[in-house]
Structure 1
Amino acid sequence: MEKLISNNNPMEKLISNNNQLQRPLPEEYIFPLEKRPGKLPVSACKFVPVIDLDETAGDSRAVISQKILKASQEFGFFQVINHGVPEDLMKDTMSMFKKFFDLPAEDKAIFYTEDARSKKYCNLFPSSMIYATEDVHLWRDNLKHDCHPLEKCILDWPEKPTGYRKVVGSYATEVTKMVPRILELIGEGLGLESGYFEGKLGGVSSLSVNHYPPCPDPSLTLGLSKHCDPNLITILLQDDVCGLQIFKDNEWIGVDPVPHAFVVNIGYQLQIMSNNKLKSVEHRAVTNSRTARTSVAFFFTPRDDIMIEPARDLIDASNPQVFRACQFLEFLRYYMAKNGTDEDALEHFKLRA
Structure 2
Amino acid sequence: MEVERVQAIASLSATVDDIPPEFIRSEEEQPGITTYRGPVPEIPVIDLVKVGHEDQDELVHAIATAAREWGIFQLVNHGIPEEVICKLQRVGREFFELPQEEKEKYASLTEPSKLEGYGTKLQKDLEGKKSWVDFLFHNIWPPAHVNHAAWPKIPSDYRAVNEEYAKYLVELVDKMLAILSKGIGLEDDALKKANGGEDLEFLLKINYYPPCPRPDLALGVVAHTDMSAITILVPNDVPGLQVFKDDHWFDAKYVPNAIIVHIGDQIEILSNGYYKSVLHRTTVNKEKVRMSWPVFCSPPPEAIIGPLPKLVNSDTTAKYKTKKYKDYAYCKLNKLPQ
Q: Which TM-score applies when normalising by structure 2?
A: 0.89
Aligned match of 1:245 = 242
Q: 1:197 aligns with which of 183, 191, 197?
A: 191
Give how far 1:266 is off: 0.6
Distance 1:104 1:277 in 2: 47
| The one of 4, 7, 10 aligned to 1:16 | 7
Cα separation, partners in 2 of 1:119 and 1:70, compared to 1, 3 Å: closer
1:125 paired residue number: 119
Residues of 1 paired with 2:88 and 2:96: CA distance? 13
Aligned partners of 2:112 and 2:288: how far apart in 1? 31
* More displaced 10-residue stretch of structure 1: 82-91 or 27-36: 27-36
Specify the code of the residue in structure 2 equivalent to 1:285: T
Q: Pick closer, same or farther for the CA change 1:58–1:29 going to 2, 3 Å.
A: closer
Q: Deviations over 1:57-95 (max 9, x none)?
A: 566111111111110111110111222111101011111
Bigger shift: 311-320 or 176-185?
Answer: 311-320
* 3-state SS of paired residue (1:107): helix
1:332, 1:122 → 2: CA distance? 15
User: Contact 1:244 / 1:283 at 8 angstroms: preserved in 2?
Assistant: yes
**Residue in 2 that maps onto 1:147:** 140
Q: Identify the residue that residue 82 of structure 2 maps to in structure 1.
A: 87
* 1:305 to 1:28, Cα distance in 2 relative to 1, 3 A: closer
Partner residue, 2:229:
232
- TM normalised by structure 1 equals 0.86
CA distance in structure 2 between the aligned counterparts of 1:54 and 1:249, rounded to whole angstroms: 30
Sequence identity (%) = 30
Q: Is the 8 A contact 1:62 1:189 kept in 2?
A: no
Q: Does 1:50 align with 2:45?
A: yes
Aligned to 2:330, which of 328, 333, 337? 333
| Cα RMSD for the two superposed structures | 2.4
SS in 2 for 1:35: coil
4+ residue runs over 6 A deviation: 118-121
Q: Relative to structure 1, is the Cα distance of residues 268 and 64 closer, same or farther in structure 2, using a 3 angstrom cutoff?
A: same
Structure 2 equivalent of residue 342 of structure 1:
none
Please list every run of 5 or more consecutive structure 2 residues that lacks an aligned counterpart in the other structure. Answer: none
Query: Which 10-residue stretch deviates more, 63-72 or 155-164?
Result: 155-164
Alignment of 1:22-37 (within 5 A): 22=14, 23=16, 24-37=18-31
What is the distance in 2 between the residues matched to 1:297 and 1:121?
A: 14
Q: Is the 8 A contact 1:120 1:156 kept in 2?
A: no
Matches of 1:213 and 1:280, distance apart in 2: 27
**Pairwise CA distance, 1:220:** 1.1
Unmatched runs of 5 consecutive residues or more in structure 1 = 1-6, 340-344, 349-353
Identify the residue that residue 3 of structure 1 maps to in structure 2: none
Which deviates the most, 36-45 or 158-167?
A: 36-45
1:170 match: 164
